[in-house]
Chains A and B, each alone.
Chain A
Amino acid sequence: MTEMSASATQIQRPDLSGKRLKRRYAAEARFRLYGLIAVFAALGTLVLLLFSIISNGYTAFAQHHIALEVTFDEAEIDPTGERDPQVLRRANYQGIARSSLRNAFPEVTERRERRALTALMSGSADQTLRELVMANPDVIGTTQRVWVKASDELDSFMKGHISRDVPESDRRIKDRDIVWIDQLIAAGNIESQFNTTFFTAGDSREPEQAGIWGATVGSFLMLFVTLVLSFPIGVLSAIYLEEFAPKNRWTDLIEVNINNLAAVPSIVFGLLGLAVFLNFFGLPRSAPLVGGMVLALMTLPTIIIAARAALKAVPPSIREAALGVGASKLQAVTHHVLPLAMPGILTGTILGAAQALGETAPLLMIGMVAFIVDIPGGFTDSATALPVQIYLWADSPERAFVEKTSAAIMVLLAFLVVMNAVAVLLRKRFERRW
């Protein structure tokens, strides 16, 4: 009887809330889906970014070489026969390299054609031959098979960046070049080799001779200056603000100021460096010293904020125990609080350094965009930095620089990944929960 009436009332009840509930649950599911889409959109762009960089850049780690049958004619290289290094250095290797390539194509006789043929070879072929002879003068008088760098156009063509299907007028590699390249391939005279130049050379106008070593050295000289300045200053001011400073207007001002400084656009720091360091103090342009000083001012707030957080995380009982056994306030901090806070401070410093390593805009202001071939040897030499090198190459019209740019980005990102991994490890390894 009771069961009957219960089911009867259920049937009779108008189903209003059920419909609304369905709508509300649908809204719930939609809302949740939007969130999920947003997360995956953000992750997707990251993947797309990395994919576009890597797919453009991985080819730059290899470089095509051409094999030449080079006859090191004694009469041409060393007419006196004394093997004097001065004489050996000055021989016409350019001519030797060119004639070696021409000899492989005896049918090419017309002057313009011959010039087009030798243009397949990099302008650095003479250096390769010179180094070979200087290292081993015994090759003089013999015929050797020597691998020299191919030109950037041939390299791009072999890597598939220049398609055969494009009309001839639209590509840098002409039809006759393709015929020669096919002959070279058939004879096994073109080979892809690991591109050591990319890691050992400075900048160059010729893509196949350009490398990132100069920029890397510049970046690390700068980073050294940055850390030497910003780490002690940052830690000292963090200790003062956190442990010693009285709470008054002045320290409030410093605190607000540090937080604001952390959000000032980086280019403004560049303007500061230009106006104060270069124009007022007359420091040299393009020098890692000045770049490091500007970046130090920029990373200082990051380090101070991180160091203060690390110091704050050390429980007051540690300080009180030290003070209780008769330590002075400074002793309590330097002997006990600071060592305990150090992992946190170092983590913040490494993250600040990573940020400084990727910074470009302020360096443009202080003249680090110059075209610099030499590897910088000191803090006041003209230098460029890895991100600036990326910017410079990204502006270059040659197709081959696109892959160099992407490869340089990959190297930069690798440095950043390593630094961040160290920071994470440091945090994981030494983090203490009190």
Chain B
Amino acid sequence: MSLLILAATLLLLTLAGYYMGRGRSVAVSGGSTHRLHSRPQYYGVYVALWCGMPSFLLLALWLALEPQIVEMILVSNLPSNILELSEDQKALVINQITHLALGGIVGGNITPEMEAAARDYAAMRQTGFAAMAVLVLCIAIAGLALGRKRIATTLRARNQVETVVSAVMIVASTIAIATTVGIVLSLLFEASRFFTKVPVTDFLFGLQWSPQTALREGQVGGSGAFGMLPLFAGTLLITFIAMCVAVPVGLYSAIYMSEYAGPRMRAVAKPILEVLAGIPTVVYGFFAALTVAPFFRNTGQALSLDVSSESALAAGMVIGIMSIPFVSSLSDDVMNSVPQTLRDGAYALGATKSETIKQVVLPAALPGIVGSVLLAVSRAIGETMIVVMAAGLAANLTANPLEAVTTVTVQIVTLLVGDQEFDSAKTLSAFALGLMLFVVTLTLNVIALRVVRKYREKYD
């Protein structure tokens, strides 16, 4: 709460800085603002930046580093009998102390030393915060004064403000890069921890997936097997079924929309098709589990086939429905950008419309269509909620679409939902799977985007 007040005070100071700077610039110019280098607002922003930037940066730095530093001091002050404990127990004790300091109720045995440490800890945090608050406010006021003092008619306030703004823009545009780097690094880091426990070759080429590891030494049946092939086979099976639905339906829709449909039909049907892409996947998952899977099971029973209620067929079908707009809308765009002259040439030779489409438009648009299918495949591979709700949990190396299979994403979810311990191979294997998923989808995306882009350049 006090943090909020501090931030609000800083904001107010910054705002005051703006008005102060603007007023000061007008005063310096003696009322005729055309003598100033920049317009008065820029002087206002200049002072506000001097006031707000350093103080907010310091505040952010403190927020990021304070807990670690205070905990380090806490650990160094602990009595030796606690320091000699194992890592896990030490972490538990530290956790208890911090909870005690916050006034929470803590189970377990609390020694007087721990209570003392908790008091120290609370006091330390309080003093730390007060000191930081004073320092930040001082810096803000100093910045305010300094910025105000520097205002002169010759000060190039606009140029300086613009430098800061473009720096901020550059930082903002690197956040996308930082996200990718963050994804790669965090996945690589956790996956490498996993690979110290399980050999890479076992993971990549193993045919068994049963991630239960022994909690205690000597527990029965808890050796754990981390072979990802069954999971990838399941993912590919479901993706294949999905594409069997999405590619024909999507492609034919795209052909109809771009070549046959009149403007009115296009105006109505195209947005409705796009709606399919806007429906949350959890809704599709519910639809698959509630309507589609029972339908296939009952149909199977009527034909005396043994269809699992979590069959790959149901999940794949629904993912296929979801992917229809990915295929259709991009293919539609690509076919629309095939030059009309190509079609006219075919008509002039006496080809019917369908012959023109099949022999002229489709070959010309093929790279774009391939790209759109690849993008749809990458979506289907990475799709999570539908398979979590409608596909099975047991790893099953089969090509029979009527059986239950599991996928990479389902396993990531089941491994990471609920309590986790971050040193077990079971939890870490989720990150190894995530890394594989990322690599596969990234490769597909890069190829797809390159294909589409190359093609676009050809006709633009």
Residue positions of A touching B, CB distance < 8 A? 24-25, 27-28, 31-32, 34-39, 41-43, 45-46, 48-49, 52-53, 56, 232-234, 236-237, 239-241, 244-245, 253-254, 256-261, 263-269, 271-272, 274-276, 279-282, 297, 300-301, 304, 328, 330, 354-355, 357-361, 364-365, 369, 387-388, 390-391, 394-395, 402, 405-406, 409, 412-413, 416, 420
Query: In the complex, what's the smallest C-beta–C-beta distance from B240 to chain A, in angstroms?
Result: 18
- Which chain A residue shows the least CB distance to B175? A233
Chain B residues whose CB sits within 8 angstroms of the CB of A416 once the complex forms: 278-280
Contact A274/B352 with A42-B249, A42-B276, A360-B385 known, Cβ cut-off 8 Å: no
- CB <8 Å contact, A391 and B389: yes
Select from chain A the residue with minimum beta-carbon distance to B184. Answer: A272
Also in contact, A272 and B186, with CB within 8 A (given A52-B291, A267-B384): yes
| Chain A residues within an 8 Å CB radius of B158 | 328
Q: Shortest distance in angstroms between A188's beta carbon and chain B's nearest beta carbon?
A: 35
A280 contact set on B, CB distance < 8 A: 186
- A271 neighbours in B (Cβ, 8 Å): 183, 186-187, 412, 416, 430-431, 434
Q: Which residues of B contact A (CB under 8 A)?
A: 64, 67, 158, 162, 165-166, 168-170, 172-177, 179-180, 182-183, 186-187, 189-190, 248-253, 255-257, 259-261, 269, 272-273, 275-276, 278-287, 289-291, 321, 324-325, 328, 352-355, 357-358, 375, 378-379, 381-385, 388-389, 409, 412-413, 416-417, 422, 430-431, 434, 437-438, 441-442, 445-446, 449
A276-B253 in contact (CB<8A): no
- Describe B's contact surface by its main secondary structure: helix
Q: What's the nearest-Cβ distance from chain B to residue A30, in Å? A: 8
Residue of B whose beta carbon sits closest to that of A36: B256
In the complex the two chains form, what is the Cα distance from A379 to B248 in whole Å?
45
A420 to B272, CA, bound (A): 12
Contacting pair A358 B449 (CB below 8 A):
no
Task: Point out the residues of chain B lying under 8 angstroms from A257, CB to CB.
Answer: 176-177, 180
Is B279 in contact with A49, judged by CB distance below 8 angstroms?
A: yes
CB-CB nearest in chain A for B416: A365
Q: Are B441 and A279 touching (Cβ within 8 A)?
A: no
| Contact residue among A45, A264, A276, A330 (Cβ-Cβ distance under 8 Å from B438) | A264
Q: How far is the CB of B420 from chain A (nearest CB, A)?
A: 9
- Chain A residues with CB below 8 A from B357, complex form: 31
Q: Are B169 and A236 in contact (CB under 8 A)?
A: yes
Chain B: which residue is nearest A34 at the CB level? B252
Contact partner of B290 among A237, A261, A402, A412, CB < 8 A? Answer: A402
Query: Given known contacts A260-B445, A300-B179, is B290 in contact with A361 (CB within 8 Å)?
Result: no
Contact indicator A38/B352 (Cβ below 8 Å): no
Contact flag A244-B279 (CB < 8 Å), given A268-B437, A297-B179 = no
Take A46-B272, A244-B169 as given contacts and tell me if A267 and B437 are in contact as well, using a CB distance cutoff of 8 Å: yes
Q: A38-B253, A272-B182, A360-B281 are in contact. Are A254 and B177 (CB under 8 A)?
A: yes
17 extra interface residue pairs, beta carbon distance < 8 Å, beyond A268-B434, A276-B186, A330-B166: A31-B354, A31-B358, A35-B259, A41-B249, A42-B325, A46-B276, A240-B173, A253-B177, A257-B177, A260-B446, A265-B384, A271-B183, A272-B186, A330-B165, A361-B413, A391-B385, A402-B290
Residues of A within 8 Å of B259, CB to CB, are 35
Report the bound CA distance from A24 to B279 in whole Å: 40
**In the complex, are the beta carbons of B416 and A32 less than 8 A apart?**
no
Contact B252 A263 (CB under 8 A): no
Q: A27-B354, A260-B449, A391-B285 are in contact. Are A276 and B276 (CB under 8 A)?
A: no
Per the bound structure, the CA–CA distance linking A217 and B447 in Å amounts to 41
Residues of B within 8 A of A365 (CB): 412-413, 416-417
Q: Which 4 A-B pairs have the closest CB atoms?
A: A265-B382, A35-B256, A358-B280, A38-B252
Select from chain A the residue with minimum beta-carbon distance to B178: A297
- Interchain CB contact under 8 A, B174 and A254: yes
- A-B contacts, 27 listed (Cβ < 8 Å): A24-B355, A31-B357, A32-B353, A38-B256, A39-B256, A56-B290, A237-B176, A245-B173, A260-B180, A264-B441, A264-B442, A265-B378, A268-B382, A271-B186, A271-B412, A275-B187, A280-B186, A328-B162, A358-B278, A358-B280, A365-B417, A369-B417, A387-B280, A391-B385, A391-B388, A406-B286, A413-B283
**Inter-chain contact A266/B273, CB cutoff 8 Å:** no
Q: Are A405 and B286 in contact (CB under 8 A)?
A: yes
Closest to A253 in B: B177
CA A412 to CA B276, docked complex, whole Å:
15
- Which residues of chain A come closer than 8 Å to B165, judged between CB atoms? 330
Min distance, Cβ B426 to any Cβ of chain A, angstroms: 15
Inter-chain contact A275/B186, CB cutoff 8 Å: yes
Chain A residues with CB below 8 A from B412, complex form: 267, 271, 365
